[in-house]
A and B are shown apart, each in its own frame.
Chain A
Amino acid sequence: MIRGLSKIFGDVPVVDRVDLAVTAGEIVMVIGPSGAGKSTLLRCVNRIEIPSEGSVLLDGIDMAGEYRGGRLIPDGPIATARKRRRIGMVFQRFNLFAHLSALDNVAIGPRRVLGMKLTEARALAAEQLARVRMSEHAPKRPAQLSGGQQQRVAIARAMAMRPMLMLFDEPTSALDPELVGEVLEVIRALAQEGMTMLVVTHEMQFAREVGTRVLFMDGGRMLEDATPAAFFRQPKHPRAREFLSRLHAPVAAA
Chain B
Amino acid sequence: MPDFDWGVVWYAAPYLAQGAVVTLEISICALALGTLVGLVCGLLSVSDMAVPKAIVRGYVYFVRGTPALVQIFLVYFALPRIGFELSPFASGVVALAFNSGGFISEIVRAGLQSIDAGQTEASLSIGMTNRQSVLFILLPQSLRRITPPLTNEVITLVKSSSLLSVISITELTRSAQLIIAERFTPFELYAELAVFYLVVISVLAWFSEFVEKKLA
Q: Which residues of A contact B (CB under 8 A)?
A: 46, 48, 77-78, 81-82, 84-85, 87-89, 91, 93, 95-99, 108-109, 112-113, 154, 157-158, 160-161
Determine which of B119, B121, B125, B137 lies in contact with A88 in the assembled complex, contact meaning CB atoms within 8 Å: B125
**Given known contacts A98-B141, A99-B141, A109 and B127 CB-to-CB distance under 8 angstroms:** yes
Q: Please classify the interface of chain B as helix (H, G, I), strand (E, B), loop, or mixed, using the class held by over half of its residues.
A: helix
| Residues of A close to B123: CB separation below 8 A | 97
**B141: nearest chain-A partner, CB-CB:** A99
Which of B128-136, B187-195, B200-208 makes up part of the contact surface?
A: B128-136
Could you say which of B116, B126, B137, B140 has the most chain A C-beta atoms within 10 Å of its C-beta?
B126
> Could you list some 23 contacts between A and B, CB below 8 A?
A48-B125, A77-B48, A77-B129, A81-B128, A81-B130, A82-B127, A85-B126, A85-B127, A88-B125, A88-B126, A89-B121, A89-B122, A91-B122, A97-B137, A97-B141, A98-B119, A99-B137, A99-B141, A108-B126, A112-B136, A113-B127, A158-B126, A160-B126
The yes or no answer to B118 lying at the interface (CB within 8 A) is yes
Partner of B124, one of A81, A98, A154: A81
Residues of B with C-beta under 8 A to A157: 122, 126
Closest CB in chain A relative to B141 CB, distance in Å: 5
User: Among A81, A84, A109, which residue has the most Cβ atoms of chain B within 10 A?
Assistant: A81
Q: Are B128 and A112 in contact (CB under 8 A)?
A: yes
In angstroms, Cα B59 to Cα A99, docked, is 32
When the two chains form their complex, are residues A81 and B137 in contact, meaning their CB atoms are under 8 A apart? no
What chain B residues lie within 8 Å of A84 (beta carbons)?
124-127
**Interface size class for chain B?**
10 to 19
B212 to chain A, nearest CB (A): 15
Q: How far in angstroms is the closest Cβ of chain B from A48?
A: 5
- Would you list which residues of chain B between 28 and 74 have a CB under 8 Å from chain A? 48
Chain B residues, Cβ within 8 Å of A82: 127
Report whether A46 and B125 are in contact in the complex, using a CB–CB cutoff of 8 Å: yes
Q: Which 8 A-B pairs have the closest CB atoms?
A: A85-B127, A95-B118, A95-B122, A89-B125, A109-B126, A113-B127, A81-B129, A84-B127
Contact with A along B88-99 (1 / 0, CB 8 A): 000000000000
For A46, give the chain B residue with the smallest CB separation.
B125
Residue of A nearest to B126 (CB): A109
Q: Which residues of A contact B121 (CB under 8 A)?
A: 48, 89, 91, 95
Given A98-B141, A99-B141, CB of A93 within 8 Å of CB of B125:
no
Which single member of B122, B124, B127 contacts A97 (CB below 8 Å)? B122
Complex: A89 Cα to B120 Cα, angstroms? 13
Bound: A108/B140 CA distance, A: 13
Say yes or no: A91 contacts B127, CB within 8 Å: no
Contacts A95-B118, A95-B119, A97-B119: A77 and B130 contacting too (C-beta < 8 A)? Answer: yes
